[in-house]
Amino acid sequence: MKKIPQFNLKSRDLIPISQANIKVDINPAHISKINTAANFVKSIKESNQPVYGINTGFGALAGVVLDKNKLIRLQENLIYSHSVGSGLNLPKEIVRTAMFLRANMLSKAHSGVRPILIRTLLTMLNKDMIPAVPETGSVGASGDLSPLAFIARTLLGFGQVYYKNKIIDAKDGLKLIGLRPFKLELKEGLALINGTDVMSASGALTLNMTEYLAKLADIGAAMSIVALQAKTTPFDMRLMKLKPHPGQMTVAKNLIKLLQGYRTTGKKVQDAYSLRCIPQFAGATREGINFAKQIIETEINSISDNPIIVNKPNSKTKFDIVSGGNFHGQAIALALDTLGIALNTMGITSERRLFRLLDDKLSGLSPFLVENPGVNSGLMMLQVLAAALIAENKVLVHPASIQSVPTSASQEDFVSMGMTAANKCRRILDNTLTIIAIELICARQAIELAKYPIPKLLNKFYQPISKRIPYITDDRLFQDDIINMKNLINDAKFQKIVEHEIL
């Protein structure tokens, strides 16, 4: 049982949450602090002072001060009116993670909600009852208002949820897990939706897979080096130290380690950039990943809400409630745009290597890596698929973070489009994973076709690939090979080997 709040989350800490492999509860030691903040919010009801989102309208309606008897209805209406979205539903893994992140943030007692609200959200999470949330609808301005509202409305008994591999009405689902539709109090509707948790959840899970894929890309590059009999001298650490970008040095170390014992028979003075400059461009990809990681991990540990309860030193009231902009998603939007660019670079350079493997004039091997070309097309179409994915990625990497469209009668006159960045980054990730899978298939075929010896450590990865992808003697349904390769990439045991051996 994981206790919240957690204050130093890493993106990898969210993996068991996303996979429903751990249960969560509030730390009992924190209950008093949560209650104190909730009581402070309650005291505002008796005040004549306008406080945003508690006794006023929202967004451009912030100037509308409401009667005391309308304050609960205000919170309910907020959830109803903001539950608008479009498109396919987000993967359940992202929604689970977003639910956890919101509960974790609320439990830090800066939002003024009651413990029972947090526990209701956690009960749904622990029972793996996951709201159905459309992927489009957030502009990342006051956080992820739309997708978080779709989560929040299920607590109230509206909308649909995934439960035991079915989609059912939320009201029926709540009954099945022993809950009744939740009754909101002051600020609780706003506190449920006014944050960056959905884009952060999507970003963190994409980041985790991207970090792994960067390591796998080094393995694919090493296999292509063997298959193309390229030189290893460009990875000399004496060169790396003269341009000591951390990512570049890490990639060079991986290649040297993977290729230990390898001796090329190639006669070229220099290899093409896609082989010779692997540390430079794969290293730059690592730098982009690290930039995104710093921002994402800061965000998942932050207070993302508005208004926010803060301490008031030397005062009888002890607290202030401050309205600001901590809900804004610009940092996440920029991080995910950068992560998408890093993934795109990873995919482009992988495709350039697999292209060389298939061209007999560049590889010195049989055309399209098949023994009887002509009657057999070989792996020709795998490169065509990679080219299509590269073209799509090049469109998708256009930054979302510069696409502001003012909303809410220009009260929200600069928005982040962070959820757009998150959604397209997931697509770029999947495309890039497929491209790297294709490089691994091609490199594996080339090495056996040419009967090149495999360095010892590299063979540790070559062997499981060979078991999944048998040697190609004649054309077959190569789509099955792509699926099998992607399944291997996603296999937990294979991932563990990669993570253990590669920096």
Would you say domain 2-195 falls under CATH 3.40.50.10420? no
Class of the CATH domain delimited by 217-501: mainly alpha
Each residue's pLDDT, cut to its tens digit, for the chain (503 residues) gives 899 999 999 999 999 999 999 999 999 999 999 999 999 988 887 777 788 878 887 776 777 777 778 888 989 999 999 999 999 999 999 999 999 999 999 999 999 999 999 999 999 999 999 999 999 999 988 889 999 999 999 999 999 999 999 999 999 999 999 999 999 999 999 999 999 999 999 999 999 999 999 999 999 999 999 999 999 999 999 999 999 999 999 999 999 999 999 999 878 889 999 999 999 999 999 999 999 999 999 999 999 998 999 988 776 668 888 888 899 999 999 999 999 999 999 999 999 999 999 999 999 999 999 998 999 999 999 999 999 999 999 999 999 999 888 887 777 778 888 999 999 999 999 999 999 999 999 999 999 999 999 999 999 999 999 999 999 999 999 999 999 999 999 999 999 999 999 99
pLDDT in tens, 275-323: 999 999 999 999 999 999 999 999 999 999 989 999 887 766 688 888 8
Q: Are 296 and 204 in contact (CB under 8 A)?
A: yes
SS3 215: helix
CA distance 109 to 95: 22
Name the nearest CA neighbour of 181 among 103, 80, 307.
80
Is 52 labeled as catalytic in the residue annotation? Answer: yes
b (16+ CB within 10 A) / e for 307-329:
bbbeeeeeeeeebebeeeebbbb
pLDDT given at position 384: 97
Could you say which of 52, 162, 163, 262 is catalytic?
Answer: 52
The answer, yes or no, to whether the previous bond of 5 is cis (omega within 30 of 0) is yes
pLDDT in tens, 424-461: 999 999 999 999 999 999 999 999 999 999 999 999 99
User: Considering the entire predicted model, what is its pTM?
Assistant: 0.95
pLDDT given at position 360: 95
Three-state SS annotation for 162-191: EECCEEEEHHHHHHHCCCCCCCCCCCHHHH
Amino acid at 356: R
CA distance 403 to 415: 8
Q: Structural domain boundaries of the chain?
A: 2-195, 217-501
